[in-house]
Every structure is written in structure tokens, then in C-alpha cells.
Amino acid sequence: MVTMQDVAERAGVTKQTVSNVLSGRVAVRPATAARVRAAIEELGYTPNLVARSLATGSTRTVGLFVPTVGGSFYAELIEEVEDVLEEHGYHLLLCTTRLDGERARRHLASLTSRSVDALLIAGDRDLIDHLPLLAGAAFPVVLCAWETEVPDRFPVVTIDYERAGYLAGRHLRELGHRRVAVLASPAHTVRIEGFRRAFAADGISVPDDAVHLAPEPTLAGGVAAATAALAADPAVTAVFATHDILALGALEAARTAGRRVPADLSVIGHDDNPEVRLARPALTSIALPRREMARQAVELLLRAVTKTGSAANSLQLLRPELVVRDSTAPAPGA
């Protein structure tokens, strides 16, 4: 292993001069710099980043927690995070929590030991209980894609999920739907609130028994919830699914129930996931600015790394957008 000392000896200078040439922070006479560079070249020297990290206290690495890498939501998030980090010369240390709080805790503990300069936590599912562990963290932490109650103390960059639900509701209301059902994952209460607000403007309420929970966000779960919804109230003319995959289940349930989408039944999803683009009719959905969110979160994080101490507790909400396709239409009677 060739070290800076080796380069220095070969170039006839001290280690410090080699360091100066590399960092460029201190002036070095051109002739000397050339000698040093030649020595580096000849010996094939590459600086030891670990040693540098120890001396500077910065690893130029950022940790990212995600619940999973499957599914386009987190996949896009990861890619965007990596892009931004790369632009700034940082590395990405990835930890998936996999619905396993204990695993999350272990990962958290080991990252705390100064192996990362900052931490981005996406998705609240598994880590929420262990956030207090981070209270004394020596590095900045930012949360993103956070839907449930936000623990103060950390800045958050997330999506206005309430508005996402509202957009879905407003769309259906404007199409004349009055009797609607909701298929929801248990954690999506905020989206439902927004959905209700849209109807409340017209004095219409969405009763609790119109909300059908799907324990898992799967096609089968969507089918089951939708079937239950249609059975519970055959008069519904529209369904809002808080997750695209549940919406697909609704499409299938409608088909087997003999109801045509969108003529008899409108279906609107949430997330605008690319992997459901293949479904027919094409799904109307709520698109989320995932990449934008990821970018802003990372940039906030990196700003906090450089200006240590700043980055007060803040909340940044990004706006979702309605994407109208073929699965929604005016209510039959309207």
C-alpha cells in the first residue's frame, strides 16, 4: 500500500507538501507540484479516505433509511438521493428496515458511531419508535416521505398528503359523485381526512363505514376491500384507493361484480405508480413529486452538514397533482 509518505520521499518533499498539492488549499511552487504529481502517478498513489475522515471528522457519506427498495416509490427516491449526493461528492450508505423495528434500531446504532455525516430517513413505518435514539446524534437528520405525526426536533420534507386526498375527493365531487367509498391502508388516515374535506365543502360526509381497510397493500387486499365496499353499499359510484395497487384490486373487483369502469364506477388511485401503467382502463391517480422531495431533502441535509448547527426544525410540504386518465368519469346520474 503506497502512502503519502512514500510519495513525499520520492518527490523529495514532506508529506505535508504532498497534502497541499492534493488539496490545493495552500500555494505550492509549480515545479514542486509537478514533481509531486509525477511521483503520485509513478507510484499509483490514491489517498486513504479513512485516514482523511479520521483527521477531518467527515466521512463524506450520508446514510439513507428506507422501508424497502422494491416498488417505484422508494426506488426513485433512492436514485434521486444518490444523484444529489453524487453531485456533491458524497457516498450513499443504504439501510432498509423491512418492517423490522429491531433491525432498524441496530442499523441506527451502528451509524451513529460517526460513520456517516448525516442521515436521511424516508418512510415512517419502522423507525418512528427509535427516533429518540437520534436525539443526541452528532450529525444532522432529516425526515422525508413522512405521513404520520411529525416528531419535532427534526426537519421534515414530505408531501402534503392531506391535499393529495383532497384532490382525489375534489375530482370525484366535481364529477358529480356523492356516494363514495374509500379503500385504505391503515396508516393513510391523513389522505382520508383530505378526501373528506373535499366533500365536506358540499355538506357531504363520508361515513366511517364507507372506509374499508386493507391490511396489506396488495392486489388481493384491494380486491377484498373493494368487494366488501361494493357489497356494503351497492349504491356507491366512485372509489378512492389510498394506494394504486388497491385501486387495481378495485378494478378487478368491479369487473367480477359486473360493473364497468368508469361508466358504472369511477376508481381513483394514489401515488401514480409507474408499475400500474399497464392496467386498463388507465388509472386516474394522484402524482407525488417524489424526486423533487428527495432532492430537497438531501440538499437540506447537506446544507446542515456544512453550516453545522443550523437547520432548525422545519416542515416542507410538497404539492401532489391530480392525473386524470380513463378510470374516472361523471357519476351515472349526474
The one segment of 102-110, 149-157, 187-195, 201-209 that binds its own copies by CB under 8 A: 102-110
Q: Which is nearer to its own copies, 12 or 57 (CB)?
A: 57
187 binds, among DNA, its own copies, none (CB under 5 to 8 A by kind): none
CA contacts within 13 A on the Cβ side of 163: 12
The one segment of 25-33, 153-161, 212-220, 296-304 that binds DNA by CB under 7 A: 25-33
Instruction: Work out how close the CB of 9 gets to DNA at its nearest, in angstroms, rounded to a whole number.
Output: 10
Using CB atoms within 10 A of its CB, is residue 193 exposed (0-12), middle (13-18) or buried (19+)? middle
Please identify which residue in the block is written with the cell numbers 518527490: 11
Instruction: Work out how close the CB of 102 gets to DNA at its nearest, in angstroms, rounded to a whole number.
Output: 24
258 binds, among its own copies, DNA, none (CB under 5 to 8 A by kind): none
Q: Which is nearer to DNA, 35 or 163 (CB)?
A: 35
Q: In DSSP terms, which residues pair with 96 in a beta bridge?
A: 66
Rule CB under 7 A: say whether 111 interacts with DNA.
no
Q: Report how far residue 52's alpha carbon sits from residue 49's, in angstroms, rounded to the nearest whole number.
A: 5
Residue 59 · residue 117 · CB < 8 Å: yes
Using CB atoms within 10 A of its CB, is residue 101 exposed (0-12), middle (13-18) or buried (19+)? middle
Q: Which is nearer to its own copies, 43 or 257 (CB)?
A: 43
Instruction: Work out how close the CB of 248 gets to its own copies at its nearest, in angstroms, rounded to a whole number.
Output: 6
Taking residues 52 to 91 in sequence order and writing x for each that binds DNA by CB under 7 A, - otherwise, the string is x-xxxx----------------------------------
Of the candidate residues 10, 20, 85, 261, the single one contacting DNA (CB under 7 A)? 20
Using CB atoms within 10 A of its CB, is residue 158 exposed (0-12), middle (13-18) or buried (19+)? buried
Residue 311 · residue 303 · CB < 8 Å: yes
Instruction: Work out how close the CB of 256 gets to its own copies at its nearest, in angstroms, rounded to a whole number.
Output: 13
Of the candidate residues 41, 42, 51, 148, the single one contacting DNA (CB under 7 A)? 51
Instruction: Work out how close the CB of 41 gets to its own copies at its nearest, in angstroms, rounded to a whole number.
Output: 14
Q: With contacts defined by CB under 8 A, how many residues of the chain interact with its own copies? A: 48
H or E element, residue 322: strand 321-323
* Per-residue CA distances from 300 to 138, 174, 178, 308 (Å): 16, 38, 42, 12
- Per the rule left: phi > 0, alpha: psi between -120 and 50, beta: everything else, 310 is beta
59 binds, among DNA, its own copies, none (CB under 5 to 8 A by kind): its own copies
Using CB atoms within 10 A of its CB, is residue 253 exposed (0-12), middle (13-18) or buried (19+)? buried
Rule CB under 8 A: say whether 99 interacts with its own copies.
no
* Per-residue CA distances from 283 to 279, 287, 322 (Å): 7, 11, 11
Pairing of β 156-159 and β 180-184: unpaired
Rule CB under 8 A: say whether 132 interacts with its own copies.
no
Taking residues 41 to 60 in sequence order and writing x for each that binds its own copies by CB under 8 A, - otherwise, the string is ---x-xxxxxx-xx----x-
Rule CB under 7 A: say whether 182 interacts with DNA.
no
Q: Which residues bind DNA (CB under 7 A)?
A: 1, 3-5, 12-17, 19-20, 22-23, 25-29, 31-33, 45, 47-48, 51-52, 54-57
